[in-house]
Amino acid sequence: MKITGISSIIAFTAIFVYVSVLGLDVWAEDLDRPAPGSIGDTLTKEDARMAYLVYRLLDEKSKIRGANFERGRELFLKNCKACHGDDGRRVNFSKDARNPIFIGTRAANDIPTFWYMMNFGDKKRGMLPYFDEIELKDMIDIAGFAQTLPQ
Ligand code: HEC
C-alpha cells in the first residue's frame, strides 16, 4: 500500500515534469524562431517572399488582398509600361500568337509566376529583378492592378 502510494507520486511527478518540460519546449521554440529576414532565418529571400505571397497576400480566389489599384496603376505605368505597354500587352510571353500570355493573363491565372518574376526577374529572358528597387507595399499594389489588366 505504502509502495503504491510512493510509485504513484513518482509517476505523477514524472508526468508533471514531462508535461512542463514539453510545454516549455514548445514555448521556447516559439520564442527562438528567428524573425523573418533576420540573421538565423534560414529561408532564402526568394522563399520568404514567395511564402509571404501565399500565406499573407492571396485570398481563396488567388486574388491579391489589400491592393490599391489606383496606386498600382501609377506604379505600373512608371515602372513596367516602357517594356510591357500600358495595358501589359506589348510582350506576349507565349510564342503562340493565337494563345497569347500577357501580364494580365499571368497575374490573373498564375500569380506565383507573376510575383516571382516581378521580384527576381530572369536574366536570360531580359526581365529585371525589382526586389531591391520596389518596396513590398508598392509591389502589392502593382500585383493587384496587374490582375485587372486584359488577358
Ligand atoms: C526593361 C524592360 C522591362 C521592364 C521595365 C519590365 N519588364 Fe517585365 N519582362 C521584360 C522582358 C524582356 C520579359 C521576358 C519576355 C519573354 O520572355 O517573352 C519580361 C517578363 C516579365 C514577366 C514574366 C511573365 C511570364 O509569365 O513569363 C513578368 C510577370 C513581368 N515581366 C512583370 C513586370 C513588371 C510587373 C514590371 C514592372 C515592375 C516589369 N515587368 C518591367 C522586360 C521588362
* Structure confidence at residue 13 (pLDDT): 57
At residue 24 the predicted structure's pLDDT band, cuts being 50, 70 and 90, is very low
Ligand 1 centroid – CA 145 distance (Å): 15
Phi, psi values for residue 122, rounded to 5°: -155, 105
Is-contact 79 134, C-beta < 8 A? yes
**pTM exceeding the 0.85 threshold for the entire prediction:** no
Beta bridge partners of 64: 58
Q: How far apart are CA 149 and CA 138, in angstroms?
A: 17
User: Where do the domains of the chain lie?
Assistant: 1-33, 45-146
Q: pLDDT tens digit string along 36-62?
A: 667 777 889 999 999 999 999 999 999
pLDDT of the residue at 33: 67
| Contact criterion met (CB below 8 Å) for 150 and 109 | no
Chain-wide mean pLDDT for the chain?
86
Which residue has 507595399 as its cell numbers?
137
Residue 27 has pLDDT above 60, yes or no: no
Q: Helix, strand, or coil here: 58?
A: strand
Is residue 91 in contact with ligand 1, taking CB distance under 6 Å? yes
What is the pLDDT confidence band of residue 83, given thresholds at 50, 70 and 90?
very high
The answer, yes or no, to whether any atom of ligand 1 lies below 6 A from the CB of 82, is yes
Alpha helix (H) ranges present in the chain?
2-32, 45-52, 69-79, 81-84, 103-109, 111-120, 136-146
Asked if the 45-146 domain carries CATH number 1.10.760, the reply is: yes
Could you tell me the pLDDT band of residue 35, with boundaries at 50, 70 and 90? confident
DSSP string, 130-144: -TTTS-HHHHHHHHH
pLDDT at 46: 95
Assign residue 88 a region (left: φ > 0; alpha: ψ between -120 and 50; beta: otherwise): left
Asked if pLDDT for residue 10 goes beyond 90, the answer is: no
In DSSP terms, 127 is beta-bridged to 122
Pocket test for ligand 1, best of 64, 113, 117, 136 (most atoms within 8 A of CB): 117
Q: Is the CB of 140 under 6 A from ligand 1?
A: no
Q: What is the pLDDT of residue 11?
A: 62
Which of 90, 101, 86, 94 lies closest to 145 in space, CA to CA? Answer: 86
